[in-house]
Structure formats: C-alpha cells, structure tokens
Amino acid sequence: MTRQERRHNRPVSIHLHPIVYWAIVGLVVWFAASAWTFFSAAEYMGLLLAVVTGFFFMAIAIPFAIWLVWRKNQDPDAMRRESISLRDWASGEFETWQGRRKATDAAVEIVMPIAAAAFGLMALGTVFYFAAAGAAQL
C-alpha cells in the first residue's frame, strides 16, 4: 500500500487548530518578555522596547479582533460541528495555496520561525547577561 492510499480518508482543514494560534501568541509573549528582561538596562532602550512591544501587541490584537467578529456572525451549530480535537486535526491534512500538506508539518513550519526568534533572543540575552556579569567581576 502506498503512502497516498493510507492517507486517503484523512480530514482536510483550511484553518489552523486554535492550539497552534495560542502557541504563536505564547511565543510572541516569550519574545517580548525576553527582550524586556535582558535588554532594558540602557537609557533609551525602554522606549524602544515599548514601541516594539506595541507592534507585537497589534500584530496579535488585529487578527484576534477579526476572528471575534467572524465568530460572532457564525451559526452556533456550525461552530460545534466544526470543532475538532488537536489529535484529529494533526492526523489530517492542511490545505494551502500550493497544495495539501500534512497538518503537523504545516503547524511546525508556521510556528518554527517564531519559536526560533523567541528562543534565540532568550539565548542571546542569557549570553550577554553572563558576559556582562563576568566582565563586572574582572
């Protein structure tokens, strides 16, 4: 049996699962918290971080507001029929403009750049923090 035949009856989704969206929001908060924790010591850095945090907040708030309006105009019965568990969603396929992808692959490809930025900034801040602490001891 080929791989295509095994995945023949998998559910196809055009929407991400809500947990993927919450993961994105959590990683953006992690990024902002890392920036504030490690890089707010300079004189004008607080102002710059406030502006960048505002941009990140708006990048999350605008799609959230659009989603709230969309949800308000949906039929409640249709919303219950559309709800799917993460396990079922992940076992299915995700429809993109270029074609179908495995849902787990699509979720990883969407979340990975944000996770790399959040964890990378945390690692960079940690290195700078310990480097500054080591230089202070000299």
Would the pLDDT of 56 be above 50?
A: yes
Would the pLDDT of 28 be above 60?
A: yes
Dist CA 116 CA 122 (whole Å): 10
In a domain, 4, yes or no: no
In a domain, 127, yes or no: yes
In a domain, 5, yes or no: no
Residue 11 is predicted with a pLDDT of: 81
Would the pLDDT of 44 be above 90?
A: no
If pLDDT is split at 50, 70 and 90, which confidence band does 8 have? low
Question: By residue range, what is the domain housing residue 97?
Answer: 14-137
Give me the number of domains the chain comprises.
1
Phi, psi angle pair for 13, to nearest 5°: -120, 145
Per the CB < 8 A criterion, the answer to whether 36 and 53 are in contact is: yes
In a domain, 3, yes or no: no
Question: Could you tell me which of 109, 114, 104, 15 has the C-alpha nearest to residue 59?
Answer: 114
Is the pTM for the entire model greater than 0.85?
A: no
In a domain, 9, yes or no: no
Dist CA 22 CA 28 (whole Å): 10
